[in-house]
Amino acid sequence: MSLRNSEHRWNWPSQVLHWSIAALILGLAALGFLLGELPRSPKYFWVYDLHKSLGLTVLALMVLRLIWRLYAGAPKPVPGTPTWQHAVASVTHWAIYIMAFAMPISGWLYDSASGLRALKFFKLFTVPKLSAPNPDLKNLAFDIHSWGIWILLALVLAHAGAALWHHFIQKDRTLMRMLPASLEKDTTT
């Protein structure tokens, strides 16, 4: 059986990627804001390291997701969706893709350009630095990282709101087809 997405629903690899990345991004946003509140003491380095390692995990998953999305395609719009709505949804989805790459890349650049101590991925291996210490690049990367989260959160809020609106008000399959098929009685329409 093909693991690609069908005309009618997202298959499980797309769903696993969607929900795991969504949970990681929301958790990382909370952890990121917590970082700002923590005293800058070696006692809390592990929280920074956790944020950075989970952030790099999102980057790896996003690369996988983009490749998978290009290979596996997307279901057709839910029947009855006006063209403008489909266009707005597509633009929002691709904007989310861009921001979900921009966040971890800017974080990694910020870490690199700050000239901080070596970055270990979950204590497993040392992650290469993307640049030599560079205060201008460090400031730019931090601006992208700290403004980017608000852009991403605004997009996700609109996106999740639209999904719930489809489910509860429009009463169509938009949300159900991003959830396991076993939750839905009729998956063919």
Among left, alpha and beta (phi > 0; psi -120 to 50; other), residue 171 is: left
Stretch 73-92 residues interacting with ligand HEM (CB under 6 A): 74-75, 89
In this chain, which residue has its C-beta nearest to ligand HEM?
32
User: Would you count residue 101 as binding ligand HEM (CB under 6 A)?
Assistant: no
C-alpha separations of 159 from 123, 136, 154 in Å = 35, 34, 8
Alpha helices in 9-82 (DSSP H): 12-37, 45-72
User: Would you count residue 144 as binding ligand HEM (CB under 6 A)?
Assistant: no
C-alpha separations of 156 from 10, 59, 138, 168 in Å = 19, 17, 26, 18
Among 31-39, 129-137, 180-188, which window interacts with ligand HEM (CB under 6 A)? 31-39
| Closer CB to ligand HEM, 90 or 185, in the complex | 90
- The contacts of residue 158 (CB under 8 Å, 6+ apart) are 92
Match 């329409």 to its residue by tokens: 189
CB of 121 to ligand HEM, least distance (A): 9
User: Would you count residue 178 as binding ligand HEM (CB under 6 A)?
Assistant: yes
For ligand HEM, the binding residues (CB under 6 A) are 18, 21-22, 25-26, 28-29, 32-33, 35-36, 48, 51-52, 55-56, 58, 69, 74-75, 89, 93, 96-97, 100, 103-104, 107-108, 110-111, 119, 145-146, 149, 156, 159-160, 163-164, 174-175, 177-178
